[in-house]
């Protein structure tokens, strides 16, 4: 697994470490950023070669994967009800 700074420091999984309200705001932000990244990919596809687009797509996939693994999953572990419907 790649070096993940948040995991390296041992993210605590106790509910008391993060309020539900704060966790929801973070989840909402990450979901919004994911949607924005998808929208930009669709927009730039016609502006670049297939090879260039494939590289951008891989970068965005890595970014979204990191957000899922390092942000969404730990929060959902603490607050399962905050799991974004897009992940069902």
Task: Classify residue 1: in a domain, yes or no.
Answer: no
Q: How far apart are CA 36 and CA 51, in angstroms?
A: 22
Does a structural domain hold residue 69? Answer: yes
The answer to the question of residue 12 being in a domain is: no
User: Is position 88 within any domain?
Assistant: no
| Furthest-apart CA atoms within the chain: distance in Å | 49
- pTM (2 d.p.): 0.76
- Report percent pLDDT > 90 for the chain: 76
pLDDT at 2 over 60: no
Range of the domain at 52: 19-78
Domains in the chain, number? 1
Is 85 a member of any domain?
no
């Amino acid at each position: 697994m790649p070096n993940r700074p948040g995991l390296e420091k041992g993210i605590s999984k106790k509910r008391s470490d993060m309020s539900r309200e704060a966790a929801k705001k973070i989840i909402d932000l990450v979901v919004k950023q994911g949607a924005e990244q998808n929208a930009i990919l669709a927009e730039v596809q016609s502006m670049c070669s297939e090879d260039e687009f494939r590289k951008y797509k891989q970068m965005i996939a890595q970014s979204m994967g990191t957000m899922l693994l390092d942000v969404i999953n730990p929060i959902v572990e603490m607050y399962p009800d905050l799991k974004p419907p897009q992940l069902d």
